[in-house]
Amino acid sequence: MHELSGGTWSQTAEIQGTTGGGYFGWGIDASDDGETFVAATYTTNPKIARVYHKEAGSWTQVGDDTDLHLANGWDVESVTITADGHAVLLGDYANDDSGTDKGQMQVWVTGDHSISAGGDPHFYTFRNQHYDFHGHCDLVLLEASHFAQGKGLSVHIRSSAYKKIFSYISDAAIRIGDDILEVGGGGKYFFNGKPVSSLASETIGGYKMEHTRTKKGRAVYKIFLDGKEEIDIREYKNWITVYVLHPSDQDFAGTVGLMGSYETGSWMSRDGSHSHQDVNEFGLDWQVRESDGLLFQTPSPHPDKCDLPILTSPVRKRRLAESSISREAAADACADWSPKAMEDCIMDVLISEDLGMADGGPLTNI
């Protein structure tokens, strides 16, 4: 990668292919602002394209190799990215999946950026990448400083110990503008520091809210943002899951926190200088600090540093093995979950010893 500065070209990065004989870079195109580019392979099967976005001075791949591909064709004859970097066009002069070599064109667009955090707890970032972080403390789930033309949106969660060696989200707090909604276990919630009988007559930062309870006993809190944008908080037997649905570029561009970079999903550091590679370093970096604003009324039990349980502890493994629910029963209860999220569901059922945990569904199933 070369960039022009002061009339002089300089090399700023070198991105290598990963498959011998794949001829990565056979086709290439860039967005109008030069911040996003796509490059395709030639002879691999399936033929793939990779999209990269520049963030904090570094180029980060957006998504995975499996996201953009052509199967059974001769090659990716042409590859183009739209001016805004949100759609990629792949052309194959021979393949049409019927063996008649009529050729085909495929259009790939960036998916829904909806995100979620819940369970033991499990995090699904803006690019639907997945990780677990088990630190017990208050955490910045996301910080969208540009939300609603600068009004700002902050979402904090409290990760607490469950049976001493597991973890779950026990509380969540959302701030829009100067208003704060705080949700805890047992159906407890507060608006601007006070208990209220209903959210129907309140607005948070000017946005409507509602609070309902399902037949299976789940408390559901909704904040209706612009268009299809929505924040949902669901509580089941004190376990809380937070969803941000259909976030838009207009409101969420530049968002950071445990949900990763909005643009790439990468684990961007708090100071914006680099992307983390270690999940614990990433999580610890986004522990709530006083400068973030303390959204919870009750101080964190771990204000200075997250308590990190030892995941390899023999006690943890023994507790899982001693669960009153078998793995087979948990798998049956989680059968409707996506393959990517099913293991998360099984673990939550085994840890909680409650088949009802499977009913909530991960982000991909709601």
Tens of pLDDT along the chain (366 residues) come to: 666 666 677 777 778 776 766 677 777 888 877 778 888 776 666 677 888 877 656 787 776 665 566 655 555 567 888 876 767 777 766 655 555 666 666 666 566 688 999 999 999 998 778 899 999 999 999 999 999 999 999 999 999 999 888 999 999 999 999 999 999 998 899 999 999 989 999 999 999 999 998 887 889 999 999 988 999 999 999 999 999 999 988 999 999 999 999 988 889 999 999 999 999 999 999 999 999 999 999 999 999 999 998 877 788 788 888 999 999 999 999 998 887 789 999 999 999 999 999 987 655 444
Phi, psi torsion values for 142, nearest 5 degrees: -155, 155
**Residue at a domain's end among 64, 90, 109:** 109
Write out the residue range of the structural domain in which residue 164 sits.
115-304
**Residue at a domain's end among 282, 304, 326:** 304
The pair of three-digit structure tokens given for residue 318, joined into one six-digit string: 């023994």
Q: What is the dihedral of CA 320, 326, 327, 329, to 10 degrees?
A: -140
Say yes or no: 260 and 350 in one domain: no
**Residue at a domain's end among 90, 109, 128:** 109
- Outline where DSSP puts E strands in 71-215: 78-81, 87-92, 104-109, 115-118, 122-124, 130-132, 137-144, 153-162, 166-176, 179-183, 189-191, 194-195, 203-204, 207-213
pLDDT of amino acid 313: 75
What is the tally of structural domains in the chain? 3
Pairing of strands 230-236, 239-245: antiparallel
Say yes or no: 67 and 172 in one domain: no
Say yes or no: 177 and 323 in one domain: no
Say yes or no: 286 and 330 in one domain: no
pLDDT of amino acid 155: 98
Say yes or no: 133 and 261 in one domain: yes
